[in-house]
Amino acid sequence: MNIIVTRLEHLRHEMRAESIDVIIIPSTDPHNSEYPARHWQSRQWISGFTGSAGTAVITLTEAALWTDSRYFIQAARQLEGSGFKLMRQGLADTPTVMQWVSQKLAAYGGTYVAVDGMTMSYDMVTTMQRELRRLGGITVRTNYDAMRMLWKDRPAIPNGPIRTQPLAFAGESVGSKIARIRKEIRAMGCLAHVTTDLMSIAWTMNLRGCDVAYTPIFVSFLYISDSEVCLFANEAGMTADAISQMREAGVSIHPYDSFADFLHNRQEEKILCDSKNTCFSLYDIIAKRAVDTPSPIISMKAVKNSAEIDGMKQAMLRDGVAMVKFLRWLKPAVEAGGQTEISISKKLEEIRAVHPMYEEPSFSTIAGYNEHGAIVHYSATAESDAALKSEGLILIDSGAQYADGTTDITRTIALGPLTDYMRKAYTLVLKAHIALATLQFPDGTTGTQIDAVARSVVWREGMNYLHGTGHGVGAHLAVHEGPHSIRMDWNSAPLHAGMTVTDEPGLYVEGQFGIRTENTMLVVPSCETPFGRFLRMEYLTLCPIDTTPIVWEMMTEEETIWLRSYHKKVAEALLPLLDDEEDREWLMNSCLVV
């Protein structure tokens, strides 16, 4: 029997014992993390779906899983035979989670819905309560962690080592950051601030950890007022330098699991806290005293200082060297035979890991050959691992965590002969990439406002892609960083100089191929006119773009000039860092543009 079917049977046994009619299991943790530590990967454990985004809903007789377009193909395969029905989120004929739950409760006459209030935001739970209230007699239980009983070998809450992020890389002391945050707290009319966001805490404290895969962070909570700063984390795992840094900044350290009791004992009125990003169980303690607004730390962190920018540039240089060595190796290795999606992913990590500043990947490498490239967040498994041939396209989306910066790059490589359709699609994606890379726009423009600049190139051909065009990248932090993004869905966060953002349009044809070209960019000042200040994007990523699939007749003169200029700067930056003559020769040949 499918292991997921067995787990569902056991869960439903517990639900009956607890008089629960519906249980909702999201993908998040107490910190609203994109990549939760294994302890909180309950949705993955109960459903078998390994994508980073999704919500599992289980009734006494049915089960469904909602996920977005990035994972439609992957989810359909992983949920087969599991007892879960795939709900393709965002499509017109797909009900929302609450619509589906309401329908099932009305049909079954159920009255109890259970969630774990530590893994679902206050805003989400209260919205759920309002929507179910209209059915009458529905109770939402917020203290039920179903996995506590069922998941016998559940990993413990992580408590790994915590180290300092050197001031040379951070660019600003902990004391200076706290002073700026306190100023913002007062400006909002508040007396204190509570944040559970792990990236914000790591950035504020100039600390890094290893509790979460791909991201150098540690599980923690943070409380800041005018008189005290309290960090709730694993003090036993802190280096002597980290403890000294906290003492110097006036930060007291408390056990991670004491935070709820701490909040119960606070007396301050007007505590700044974000209900959209704070879990229900914690926010509910201070809800009557909370000023519900986004944390000022999010926007501060997004604008990089000169040290962070320099660290990102250095990281991109060494990543560019690694990519050159990898790409030179790739085609001959495929021609020799024996290479697969997994083997080349391992090879890329091996090449990156040679540098002493390398720490780990910044996310799980996506190496999708031909039809696997159409699965936007594809992750090869032993069962799906495709053998590579000297034909078609392979999409390689990868990144690294270096001690001074985070990288994210996608290149689509022609391994051999391509169809005309592949070459046209590849050229359209490149044109879309260039359209955004060359854009000048007013300071304060949002990413939603400029998303169509890239997307219109493929729209003209009756094509589209369903993921965002760009996201922020952290400074040795999360590879996906807000508050800004470049996407169709409305995001009011403005773009400002100092922000990093990716430029990654794509096209995907199910069952055939996927194409994406991605550079990490830095938003910089462009000019100032009587109409105001204008910005542009400067590329940080330094790696050749494969020119062999390009249909040159589709390229404008301006686009060809941009590609020639980009490749010239790639060669100038990387050639001095390459000792191997064959690497140098490959780079020079790859940077030639007709």
Q: What phi, psi does 114 have (nearest 5°)?
A: -120, 140
User: Counting runs of H as helices and runs of E as strands, what totals does the chain give?
Assistant: 19, 28
Cβ-proximal residues to 458 (8 Å cutoff; 6+ apart), any chain: 428, 429, 432, 464, 465, 505, 507
The H-or-E segment that residue 412 falls in is strand 409-414
Query: What is the structure's pLDDT at 131?
Result: 86
pTM for this prediction = 0.94
Is the pLDDT at 1 greater than 60? The verdict is no
Q: Report d(CA 385, CA 124) in Å as an integer.
A: 38
User: What does DSSP say about strands 290-292 and 163-164: parallel, antiparallel, or unpaired?
Assistant: unpaired
Q: What phi, psi does 90 have (nearest 5°)?
A: 95, -15
Query: Residues 278-292: pLDDT tens digits?
Result: 999 999 999 999 999
Angle separating helix axes 420-437 and 557-574, nearest 10 degrees: 80
Mean model confidence pLDDT for the chain: 96
Query: Residues 555-594: pLDDT tens digits?
Result: 999 999 999 999 999 999 999 999 999 999 999 999 998 6
Query: Residues 491-539: pLDDT tens digits?
Result: 999 999 999 999 999 999 999 999 999 999 999 999 999 999 999 999 9
CA-nearest of 579, 575, 576 to 589 is 575
* Range with the poorest average pLDDT among 112-121, 375-384, 545-554: 375-384
- The tokens for 373 are 């490239």
User: What does DSSP say about strands 251-254 and 229-232: parallel, antiparallel, or unpaired?
Assistant: parallel
Q: Report d(CA 75, CA 323) in Å as an integer.
A: 30
Beta-carbon count within 10 A of 17 CB? 9
- The tokens for 497 are 């100089």
Beta-carbon count within 10 A of 226 CB? 12
CA-nearest of 522, 203, 577, 164 to 355 is 577
